[in-house]
Structure 1
Amino acid sequence: MTQGRSIRLFLVDGTPNGLLTAEIMNWTGHVLTGPRSKLSELVQRPECGRTGIYFLVGPDPDNSLRPLVYIGESDDVATRLKQHNRPEDKGGKDFWERVCLITSKDQNLTKAHVKYLESLLIKNAGDVGRAKLINGTSHDYGNLPESDRADMAFFVEQIRIVLPVLGFDFLRDSTRPPKSDEPQKPGSLESSPQFFMKVPRHGISAQGQEVDGEFFVLKGSLARREWAGPAHNYQKLHQQLCDEGLLVEAGNGLRRFIKDYAFSSPSAAAAMVVGRAANGRNDWKIDGTKTTYGEWQDQQVSAAAESNEFSPDYNS
């Protein structure tokens, strides 16, 4: 199983909506984030005078389901952020509301390193598809030594771990991770069985699985071609998946998932399949049984509680 990680968070001004720093144990990276309203304080921090990567994040007025993101690099981030804070007609950027800066505690990141990191992160964000990038296409900076490229690949993986903890999901992978060969603990999300949803009268047949807290609809699942129910927040998501080619035409009033795709809940996944609001806890069932997702989850919780009750360490 994946090992746990320790992340140290520090509220710089003692408030949850102010400046915040984050570090992962045994990682040289240092994260500083805060709202644009705190920019005057943020740029005075010593981290902002270092070489680093930064993210500008704000709402997309055309799509409430995902943010707008700009990924940049600089050897003097404070100066670059001041430029971005100018009015748009003077070369600045108006869209962003939060900023996140990543530097190195040992200050060993060079200009070449952050250019390479920028190109990797832009590509990753584009592949994940959880945000609309302001950057456009990424540049290919591949002239680092092999050892440095390996170090930067590790650096990127740590960034992808820490950012979702801070509320930035645009680098979190939406594809199902490969199943581990290691035995899983009872109740582990990785041990989720496959669930099925079928609506024979519409030809709908879909498969799903819960992994690491997200519910995946699996590649090849068939879903309704158009949203058929009353207006709902999920309707925009259904249209978005169609527009982006994740749900493709399959004939007979159906669409097909071209890859595994993660949703925040079984109900969101079910809604994308049947084209209307749905209760995924009841609609997804373990293959060959009448056991619903909700019943399976309740069994997992009960089994875990019983295991703790009879554990030698219980109530110790």
Structure 2
Amino acid sequence: MTLGRSLRLFLVDGTPNGLLTAEIMNWTGHVLTGPRSKLSELVQRPECGRTGIYFLVGPDPDNTLRPLVYIGETDDVGKRLKQHNRPEAQGGKDFWERVCLVTSKDQNLTKAHAKYLESLLIRNAKEVGRCGLVNGTAHDYANLPESDRADMAFFLEQIRTMLPVLGFDFLRASARYLVAPPEHEGDGADISPVFVMNIPRHGIHASGQEIDGEFFVLKDSMARREWIGTERGYQSLFQQLIKDGVIVAGLDGNCRFVQDHSFSSPSAAAAVVAGRSANGRTKWKLESSGLSYGEWQDGKVNAALTDETAASAGDNARPDSFD
């Protein structure tokens, strides 16, 4: 069973769009984030005088589906951020709109630790593939004792846990899907049922699964070769996936997913498969039973409420005392 975590968030100036600090219970790390417009206030914070790693994040003009990210390390974060705030022509970086820096509350994070973390984070961001990296080639910095490498592996996992909570998804790995045996579809939180979507007229068959709040269309699923819907909705998503090579043209006149790909909703996934807007709650159906995604989800909610009611009734039936 996965255990819960306690996070402590603090709005420095009392507004949701200002500076924010974040900590995890029993972790020595400390996170500070804010918009570039608050940089003058951010660099005055004591955290900015420490050794740490930082992320510069902004939109990618060539890809609306993912951000641009620069990952760096320094023993004086404030000084480095001032350099990055300069115009591009003066050695700065123009693309970023938000900054996130990670330091240590006990100040035991050394320059060597930071360089090691930076190399791990750059490698991890490339593997996950949720952002465009502005960094050049990452140096494979491994000049740390074995015990320190173990400490930094733990430090890295806390960073990967914390950042998605703060709105930075570029380090969040895609969940591994579990194909459920047909007789167990929909049973238990650990089993992800397989959904299918068919468009017989065009010979299209696609498979998908819901994992950790995202809907995955699985590798080798088919999709329409071109967008035929109106010029809105998920058209840009469809075109971007073709541009990125996630779906490629096949010999049968349709496209094929060359890898598993996550979508924000079943409807987004259905639209890309169909090449037009589609209601994913009705189009995706359980592979064995034929129940729609919406019916399957409603069944889970109703079952949970029934279990809760039964448990509550059982508690009320227990005597308060015994003679």
Q: What TM-score does the superposition give when structure 2 sets the normalisation length?
A: 0.90
Read off the aligned partner of 2:126 and give its amino acid letter: G
Amino acid at match of 1:301: V
Mapping 1:111-260, distance limit 5 Å: 111-176=111-176, 189-260=189-260
Distance change >3 Å, CA 87–CA 314, structure 1 → 2:
farther
CA-to-partner distance for each residue in 1:149-202, whole Å, 9 max, x for gaps?
Answer: 22222222211111111111111123535689xxx9x88654331111111221
Q: In 1, distance between residues paired with 2:13 and 2:25? A: 22
Moved more, 60-69 or 272-281: 60-69
Structure 2: gaps spanning 5 or more residues? 317-323
In the aligned structure 2, how far is the partner of 1:55 from the partner of 1:97?
A: 11
Unaligned runs of 5+ in 1: none
Counterpart in the other structure of 1:106: 106
Deviations 1:122-151 (Å, cap 9, x if unpaired)?
122222222211113322112222222222
1:209-254 CA-to-partner distances (Å, cap 9, x unmatched) read 1111111111221222222322224222222222222223332122
Query: For structure 1, which segment, 277-286 or 214-223, has the greater mean C-alpha deviation from structure 2 after superposition?
Result: 214-223
How far off is 1:72 after superposition?
A: 0.8
RMSD: 2.3
Structure 2 distance, partners of 1:299, 1:207, is: 21
Whole-angstrom CA distance in 2 between matches of 1:179 and 1:49: 49
SS of the counterpart of 1:310? helix
Task: Give yes or no for contact 1:187–1:303 (8 Å, CA) kept in 2.
Answer: no
Q: Is the partner of 2:311 in helix, strand or coil?
A: coil
C-alpha contact 1:176 1:261 (8 A) present in aligned 2: no
Check whether the contact 1:196–1:287 (CA below 8 A) recurs between aligned residues: yes
Query: What is the rounded CA distance, in whole Å, between the counterparts of 1:35 and 1:3 in structure 2?
Result: 32
Deviations 1:4-25 (A, max 9, x none): 1111101111111111111111
Matched, 1:68 2:95: no
Superposed counterparts of 1:265-304, under 5 Å = 265-304=265-304
Contact kept in structure 1, 2:119 and 2:138, CA below 8 Å: yes
2:179 touches 2:192 (CA, 8 Å); kept in 1? no
SS at match of 1:68: strand
Local SS of the residue matching 2:169: coil
- Once superposed, which parts of structure 1, at least 4 consecutive aligned residues long, lie more than 6 Å away? 313-316
- On the 8 A contact 2:178/2:191 being kept in 1, the answer is no
Alpha-carbon distance between aligned partners in 1 of 2:42 and 2:115, rounded to the nearest angstrom: 22
Give the count of matched residue pairs: 312
Partner of 2:32: 32
Equivalent in the alignment of 1:307: 307
Change (3 A) 1:314 1:94: farther
Task: For 1:17, give the aligned amino acid.
Answer: N
Identity of aligned residues (%): 71
Distance 1:178 1:24, change over 3 A: farther
> Taking structure 1 as the reference length, what is the TM-score of the superposition?
0.91
Q: Contact conserved, 1:189 with 1:212, CA < 8 A, in 2?
A: no
Q: Is the 8 Å Cα contact of residues 268 and 280 (structure 2) preserved in structure 1?
A: yes
Contact 1:189 1:210 in 2 (8 A): no
